Structure 1
């Protein structure tokens, strides 16, 4: 279960990674990797070990441990700094968090999987890539947690809107089941995701 907004500069059509900004609250768990993607999505908390999101190979074999060499350990907030969630984000401003990494191939595949079931414009959300790039990178299991490429601004904004609502569904479900971590002064917290603004990127880059 994870969320947030990513790297988009002005109006370029991407063959570049993009990032997501989370407006709300946040927390952290051990990050999955190509060798062990886990049962639940690290971006929304939804079950994602299903055909159409993960690759068929994940249902039969474990990838060798060297597949995780590109993984870097998760950032940790100081204990008690913010309500505990499961989103891999970094604090930026009060109530504003930036995704720890660019939006990944796996995260965008999850988005396309769920959108494809109820959206007539599904094809417009698929990144435009040469077939050889798609087969060698975007559709290649070892790159599941690498940055997604070929995403334009409209697609990135659609991803942000979908992911924010997916996380809010999870929040409501947890509160219904008795969790209090999403409650503040009796009110249920909500998150909103969008792309970072230029000033926010500069702030993040400054550390």
Structure 2
């Protein structure tokens, strides 16, 4: 029993001595390291999660979508400008402002004058149908027959003149064909000349 106590007490003393020695070494190392250099901590690497990883194709698809959208907007803008230009041209021609020759072409595949007259007649007939209006005999004759037939009917109806608006109506200085029913003559006059001539007619 005494032997065991001696061993245990001596071993405790040895352990204390060893612990003291290690503590002194640690203090020395700490003093040396603090005086010469700093110890940097190792950066902690963040683990990548499922949400932090980006799909490789997502950015490419987004870029293609942006390019496609830009192209569509350009095409839409071009179409809109072309339609606006055609609309202005149609309005200019239909109002008798003349046909512009910006492209050097004098030929149009659309008879704008006929379209304007047809539209006016259609609108007038539509309004009359809505009001329940019927055409008079004179109106039926003038709307039913062609220009040639109107000339023969003008004498019967007592009209002294028939004004025929043709291709010259869209020239820079419009001239209208005025046919004298009684004298069998044809003149090409401006609108002011026609008004002057009509004002000379004596009504009975």
TM-score normalized with structure 2 length = 0.21
Whose helix proportion is higher, 1 or 2?
Answer: 2
TM-score normalized with structure 1 length = 0.21
